[in-house]
Chain A
Amino acid sequence: MTGTMGTPSPIIEARGLIKTYGSVVALDGADFELYPGEVLAVIGDNGAGKSTLIKCLSGALVPDEGEIRVEGQPVHFRRPQDARAVGIETVYQSLAVAPALDIASNMYLGRELRRPGVLGSVFRMLDHGAMQRHAREQLQHLGIGTIQSITQAVETLSGGQRQAVAVARAAAFGSKVIILDEPTAALGVKESAQVLKLIRDLRDRGLPVILISHNMPHVFEVSDRVHIQRLGRRVAVVTPATHTASDAVAIMTGALDAAGATSAA
Chain B
Amino acid sequence: MTSVTTIDPAERFLRRQTPIQRVHHVLHAYPAISPLIVLVAASVVFGLVNPRFFMPENLSLIGQQVAVVGALAIGQTIIILTAGIDLSVGAVMVFTAMIMASSVASFGLPAPAALALGVVVGTAAGGINGLLVTRLRLPPFIVTLGTLNVFVALTLLYSGGQTVQSQDIPDLLLWPGQAIDFGSFKITTGVIMMLLMYAVGSYVLRNTAWGRHIYAVGDDIEAARLAGISVSRLLLSGYMVAGFVYAITAWIMIGRVGAASPNAATDANLDSITAVVIGGTSLFGGRGLLIGSLLGALIVGVFRNGLALAGVDVLWQTLVVGVLVIVAVATDQWIRRVRA
Contact = CB atoms under 8 A, between A and B. Distances in A.
Interface centre among B11, B207, B225, B229 (most CB of A within 10 A): B207
Interface stretch (A9-17, A41-49, A91-99, A245-253): A91-99
B226 A80 contact: yes
A98 B286 contact: yes
Contact of A155 (B7, B213, B339): B339
B226 A148 contact: no
Contacts of A130: none
A96 B223 contact: yes
B222 interface: yes
B20 interface: no
B338 A97 contact: no
Interface in A77-128: 79-81, 84, 90, 92, 94-101, 105, 109-112, 114, 123-126, 128
Contacts of A146: 4-8, 11
Contacts of A198: none
A175 B220 CA distance: 26
Contact of A112 (B11, B209, B215): B209
Given A92-B226, A96-B227, A110-B228, A126 B207 contact: yes
B3 interface: yes
Contact of B227 (A109, A114, A153): A109
Interface stretch (A23-31, A156-164, A212-220): A156-164
Interface in B171-205: none
- Please report whether the interface of chain B is mostly helix, strand, loop or mixed according to DSSP: loop
Interface string B281-312: 00000110000000000000000000000000
A242 interface: no
B333 interface: no
Given A81-B228, A109-B229, A126-B208, A99 B4 contact: no
Nearest to B225: A80
B290 to A, nearest CB: 15
Nearest to A162: B340
Contacts of B229: 109-110
Contacts of A243: none
B225 A126 contact: no
Interface string B313-340: 0000000000000000000000000111
A70 interface: no
Contacts of B1: 148-149
A114 B4 CA distance: 24
Contacts of A136: 2, 4
A79 B228 contact: yes
Given A79-B230, A101-B215, A145 B5 contact: yes
A105 to B, nearest CB: 6
A148 B25 CA distance: 14
A60 interface: yes
Nearest to B211: A126
A97 B210 CA distance: 17
Contacts of B29: 152-153
Given A101-B215, A109-B216, A110-B213, 6 more contacts: A79-B230, A98-B286, A99-B220, A105-B212, A109-B212, A146-B7
The 3 nearest A-B residue pairs measured at CB: A110-B228, A81-B228, A110-B227
